[in-house]
A = this chain, B = another copy of it.
Amino acid sequence: MTDVNFKPAISPVPREEDVASNDPAQNEAEDSLPYDLIELLFFAYKDFTGDPDDVLAEFEFGRAHHRVLHFVERNPGIMVTDLLGILRITKQSLGRVLKQLVDAGIIEQREGLNDRRQRLLYTTERGHTLAEELAHLQQRRLERALIGLPDGSEEIVRQFLLQMIDPEARADIMRLIRSPFPLKD
């Protein structure tokens, strides 16, 4: 395993296909769009989730707990099934995380009024406080990111993000985002 032969490094030579044509218009066609946006999005998202991660680490919670807490906070009384649908994870994955949140007194389960099979999810006071703290961290970062940008930028960013989402999913997500209260009953 130690006697692998490494070739000596070559000084990086542009690949044939990467050699730019002298006609700028021709390059635009293939390369018009921003390699750099890919990387900015990567780093931006990392820092965006980093703020909550730091707070949650003190509770020995991770990002999975944050997602659950967030959507329960935003959709009080949500059914387990609907939460699974939003997060696109399996019952088993949710199970462990949810149990820990309930045990920690962050989330509360209540029997459905009409349907006693349901265990509707609510944040406790403590959970509500934590959820707010985390949301504020992320809102502050979003505010900072919009500083100095021209009027209307927030709406542009909103539209941009919405159009990043698979078209089929947009309507559902729009509804989810606006609705203060559960999706079905």
Contacts and interface: CB of A to CB of B under 8 A. Distances in A.
Interface of A: 6-12, 15, 33-48, 50, 67, 70, 74, 76-77, 88, 108-113, 118-120, 122, 128, 135, 138-139, 141-150, 152-154, 156-166, 169, 173, 176-178, 181
A158 B40 contact: yes
A182 B107 CA distance: 48
B37 A142 contact: yes
A139 B38 contact: yes
A98 to B, nearest CB: 13
Given A43-B169, A153-B160, A142 B34 contact: yes
A178 B40 CA distance: 11
A153 B154 contact: no
A44 B161 contact: yes
Given A35-B177, A44-B162, 9 more contacts: A6-B119, A9-B112, A37-B157, A39-B74, A39-B176, A41-B161, A43-B173, A144-B164, A149-B156
Contacts of A120: 9
Contact of A39 (B42, B44, B46, B173): B173
B181 A47 contact: no
Contacts of A76: 12
A114 to B, nearest CB: 9
A165 B9 contact: no
Contacts of A156: 149-150, 153, 156-157
Given A6-B111, A12-B181, A111-B6, A36 B165 contact: no
